[in-house]
């Protein structure tokens, strides 16, 4: 992930410098804007797995625990639209966005000496709103902080595919998570109506507890997963000002 992110950052810097070099007679003004962007999304975080069993009248006993890492990179594309205001050297904007990416992770686990235990996590796309607050070092450049909120749907699945008798419970859950996603950005004018921007955002999704129960031969298995994903996004976008 670090290598891909570094490449994206370098490309964004090259585009930004090129934009600045050709924008001496242009400037970014207040008003509505819309655009598209492309870049990289990277999922990180972890899933804490616990399997416990209850043999009927007996007490519940923890059988297995496992800490799974969430790590997946994906190409990302986004559509956005907003309204910005420039005043006294400062910049403020509000925008809506939709981002398309595909973050699917899969980890094979060995539990109680048995292979074939599979934990999967997937998410496709996010949407939300953002506020930009920054300053204007010159008329054709804006540097800003991003305060955004993103909503993203996650799908989590655990199954014992090799020996289902070992762990009877199969977990298959979906949920929508809303996360605070701060970041930074910079925008350069290319022409009267066209500008280029680069942004980095970090979506901090909260931990979600998921559980499932399965029973066979008088034994009850409970699977519990604490799913805590995080999503890093870096993109380069083209903005059209109306």
pLDDT digits (tens, 9 = 90+) for 63-109: 788 888 888 899 999 999 999 999 888 999 999 999 999 999 888 87
CATH number of 2-241: 2.40.160.20
Work out the average pLDDT over 155-170: 75
Mean pLDDT, all residues of the chain: 85
| Residue 227 reports pLDDT greater than 50 | yes
Range ranked top by mean pLDDT from 51-55, 159-163, 183-187, 217-221: 183-187
Can you read off the two tokens belonging to residue 146?
A: 């991003």
pLDDT attached to residue 169: 77
Where along the chain do its domains lie? 2-241
Q: What is the pTM of this model?
A: 0.81
Q: pLDDT band at residue 56, thresholds of 50, 70 and 90?
A: low
Q: pLDDT band at residue 113, thresholds of 50, 70 and 90?
A: low
- Residues of the chain above pLDDT 90, percent: 56
CB atoms within 10 A of CB 96: 13
Question: In three state form, how does the secondary structure of the chain look?
Answer: CHHHHHHHHHHHHHHHHHHHHCCCCCCCCCEEEEEEEEEEEEEEEEEEEEEEEECCCCCCEEEEEEEEECCEEEEEEEEEEEEEEEECCEEEEEEEEEEECCEEEEEEEEECCEEEEEEEEEEEEEEEEEEEEEEEEECCEEEEEEEEEEEEEEEEEEEECCCCCCCCCCEEEEEEEEEEEEEEEEEEECCCCEEEEEEEEEEECCCEEEEEEEEECCEEEEEEEEEEEEEEEEEEEEEEEC
């Amino acid at each position: 992930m670090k290598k891909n992110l570094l490449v994206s950052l370098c490309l964004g810097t090259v585009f930004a410098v090129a934009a600045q070099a050709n924008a001496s007679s242009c400037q970014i003004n207040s008003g509505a804007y819309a655009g598209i962007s492309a870049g990289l999304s990277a999922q990180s975080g972890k899933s804490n797995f616990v399997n416990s069993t209850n043999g009927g009248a007996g007490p519940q006993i923890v059988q297995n625990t496992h800490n799974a890492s969430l790590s997946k990179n994906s190409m990302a594309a986004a559509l956005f639209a907003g309204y910005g205001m420039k005043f006294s050297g400062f910049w403020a904007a509000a925008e809506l966005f939709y981002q398309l990416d595909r973050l699917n992770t899969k980890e094979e686990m060995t539990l109680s000496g048995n292979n074939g235990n599979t934990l999967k996590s997937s998410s496709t796309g996010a949407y939300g709103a953002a506020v930009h607050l920054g300053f204007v070092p010159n008329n054709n450049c804006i540097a800003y902080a991003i305060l955004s909120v993103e909503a993203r749907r996650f799908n989590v699945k655990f199954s014992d595919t090799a020996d289902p008798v070992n762990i009877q419970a199969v977990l298959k859950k979906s949920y929508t998570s809303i996360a605070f996603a701060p970041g930074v950005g910079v925008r350069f004018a290319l022409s009267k109506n066209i500008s280029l921007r680069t942004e980095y955002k970090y979506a901090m999704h909260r931990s979600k507890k998921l559980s499932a129960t399965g029973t066979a031969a008088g034994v009850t298995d409970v699977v519990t997963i604490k799913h805590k994903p995080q999503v890093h996004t870096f993109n380069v976008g083209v903005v059209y000002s109306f």
